[in-house]
Each structure stands twice: as C-alpha cells, then as structure tokens.
Amino acid sequence: MNGAAAAPVGAQELLLRLVGAALQLFSTWAVVHSLSVEATGTYFRGVVIAVGMAALLRGKYEIYLAYHIISRRSAAGGVSDGCLLMQLGRRVLLRAAVICGLLLVITADVDIQAPRFQPVLETYLPFVLAIPFVSLSTLIGEALRAGNRALGGTVLTSYALNASMLLAVALTPRGASPALYSWLFLAASALSALLALALARRAFPARLAEGSKPLCREMFAAADVREWMGLSRALLLWGPLCILAAWASALQMAQYAVASRTALIMDFLLPALNLSGGPEMAGAADASLMRGRSLMTQLRRSLLYSAAFSAALIFVAPATFALYGSPYDAQWTLYILLLAAQWANSVGRPAIRYLVARWDSHLVARTLGAAALATVLLCAVGFPRFGVLAAAAATLIGALAVNARAIVASLGRAQT
C-alpha cells in the first residue's frame, strides 16, 4: 500500500526535475542564439552580481538555519523551523536592502560623473534591484533542501529564471538590448520570492504572530559566530565567478556561463554542495543517527550515481554543445572541469549532511575557510595566464578539498 502510494510521487518529482533540466538547456540555447556574444557576457555578468551578492549576504543565516533544521533543534529549543526562517528572512532582507541602497547611490554617482557608462548602468540596475528578492528566495531554497525538500529548492533556483530568459527571447526581436533581459530577471526574481514564501509556508508552517516575537539573543549570537563560515562558503561557490565578472572579457564570461549552466544539469538530479541532502537521506537514514556502515553505504551509492550520471552527461555533451554553436561548442576542457566539480560535490553530499547534524564549528570553519582561500587565490593567480580554465580548475580543487575533508571526518566520527 505504501509503496504503491509512493510511486506516483517519485514519478512526479522525476518529471519536474527533467522539465527543469530541459528548461535550463533550452533557455541557455535561446539566449546565446538571440544575443550577441558581447550582450550574452554582459547579461550573465549581471546574474553573477545579483546571485553572488545574495550568497554573501545570507551566508551565516543559511548555515545556522540548515543546522537548526537538520539537527531537529526545534523540539529541544522550542523555536519552530518556520519561526526561525521568518526571523532570519527579515534579517537577510534588511541586509540586502542596505547593500542595494548603497549600490544604487554608487550607480547614480557614476551615472552623473561618467555619462558614457549610462547604457551599461541601465543594464545592471535591475540586477541590483533584484538582490533582496534573490537573497530571500535562495535562503528559503536552502531551508527546503535542509528539510529534505530538495525539489522545492530546485524549482526556486531554476524555473523562474529560466522562464524569464525564454520569455525575453520570445518577446524581443533578435539582437535586442540585454537591458530588457535584465528587467525580466528582476520580475522573475520577485516571482521566485513570492513562490518561495508560499512553499516555505507549506513546508514550515508557523503563525505570523509567532514569527513576530523576537528570538532570544543566544540564537542570533549563534548565527553571528558563523559569519566567517558563511563568507567562506559563498566565496567557495561564487568567488571564481565574481573574479570573472570583474576581469573577464564578455566572450570569456559568456563561454564560462554556458559551460557552467550545462554542467549544473547535474544539480537537478544530484543536489550539489550544500549543507543539506536529498530525499534518500530521510527516514531511517537520518544523518544524525547514521553509523559507519550506514554512512559508507550512502557514500557508495552517491559515488555510483554521480559517476554514472557524469558519464552520461559527457556522452551526450557533443550533441548538447553542437546546439550552442560557435564560439561555445569547443569548450570541452572547461566543461569537464566544471562537471568534475559537480561530481565531487555529489559524492561528498552524505558526509556533509552528517557533519552538519553533528556540528563541529572549528572543523567546518577550517574546512570551508581553507578551501575558499585556495579557490580564490588559484583563480586570481591563474586567470591572467589560463583565463577561464583557471576559474574552473580552482572550483574543482575547492570542491575536492571540502568533500574529501568531509568524507574523512565523517567516517572517523561514525566509527566512534
């Protein structure tokens, strides 16, 4: 009876993930065939500004929130997951609004002092305005993943953005200004935030009055001490892309974005580096209860599935990149490096979830800090000579460092 009831749910989730992957590929194809290389690079640079800044702003809060959800501290502390999400969401929005205001002041000043930058500023303005919306929706997406609702997080991070890109291609003539695409990105970000609130209300029910009560000082202090961890994780994930946004040419930015978005297809079926896990980690395989044999079984399965899926993506890569055409169809080395980083993140996912459930702040801070520092330095030093390959290689090295350390540490703790 239970097995029969579960089957349609699994099939529905698989269908939604496949649709998300198709949207990711098709929207990328539509943009590169509708915009010039220069405009494509400008558009994706703006996306990095919005999403990368959001990652920096929400870092410490999403780490504490994931720890609270995975460790099931709501029962012990009396603060529900929904209440905590509301409180931390307000703080993230406040931080994002302040940063957004500062960037708008700087933008206005540059517009007055250097009018020649006006077309560029008009393109990037919507991305700046989108920072609060992206910050809130991605925070909720991480909470959904931590609560074994990875599908909701996938929908939040992909459907609205990719739909906005397809809508922009459908509504504008070929070769239109990227400014329209950026305004549609802002609209999609606002829609994602509304969708995130609806999903969060369903996944983490809490009364508005409950969420309005201030939390105890100790909980905010516990989130504040994770500032370095949050910054390190954001730099680990977005540091190379931020360096490219500042230094790379439009061609390099466009090529890297296309290869990266294609490699991220792996995220739809095998959630990558985050402080949570997927549905297969729920129930009897709860991370806080796993022992050595159970954890080893999860790691073997993760290795098998991620290796098989990576091989399948490499097999179909020639046909996939042929759809993009020149100058995107020859970025094989770049794509393989980025795909290898996704593979490393997928293999280590059970170990990362286990360590979050058995929190060791010193271990997490050292692991994330060292990996983030190595990633950023390798990208910055290697970019002048190797270009975007340095960013991809640095991303891979950072992923290997974090996940190898997580696997070793989790197996050692599971044996005790």
**220, two tokens:** 């905010």
**408, two tokens:** 């070793």
pTM tops 0.85, yes or no: no
- Residue-level pLDDT at 394: 94
- Residue-level pLDDT at 382: 93
Residue in 57, 287, 325, 35 with CA at minimum distance from that of residue 169: 35
Which DSSP letter does residue 276 get?
S
> What span, in angstroms and rounded, lies between the C-alpha atoms of 221 and 58?
15
Write the DSSP assignment of 305-328 as a string of letters.
HHHHHHHHHHHHHHHHHHHH-TTT
**321, two tokens:** 């990149």
To the nearest whole percent, how much of the chain has pLDDT over 70? Answer: 79
Alpha helices in 35-177 (DSSP H): 37-70, 73-77, 81-113, 118-129, 131-146, 150-171
> What span, in angstroms and rounded, lies between the C-alpha atoms of 37 and 326?
10
- Residue 57 near residue 92 (C-beta atoms within 8 A): yes
Q: For residue 199, what is the enclosing H or E element?
A: helix 178-203
Mean pLDDT estimate for the chain:
79
- Residue-level pLDDT at 154: 61
Residue in 338, 343, 346, 340 with CA at minimum distance from that of residue 390: 338
Lowest mean pLDDT among 102-111, 216-225, 231-240, 382-391: 102-111
**106, two tokens:** 């700087």
Query: Domain residue spans in the chain?
Result: 7-224, 226-416
pLDDT in tens, 344-384: 988 888 888 787 777 777 788 888 888 999 999 999 999 99
Residue in 235, 231, 229 with CA at minimum distance from that of residue 379: 235
Report CA-CA distances (Å) from 283 to 3, 12, 271, 278: 15, 20, 18, 11
Say whether pLDDT at 280 is over 60: no
Q: 185 pLDDT band (50/70/90 cuts)?
A: confident
Residues contacting 84, CB < 8 A, separation 6+: 65, 68, 74, 215, 219
pLDDT in tens, 127-145: 889 999 989 988 888 888 7
pLDDT in tens, 296-331: 888 888 888 888 888 888 888 888 888 888 888 878
What distance lies between CA 242 and its chain's CA centroid?
14
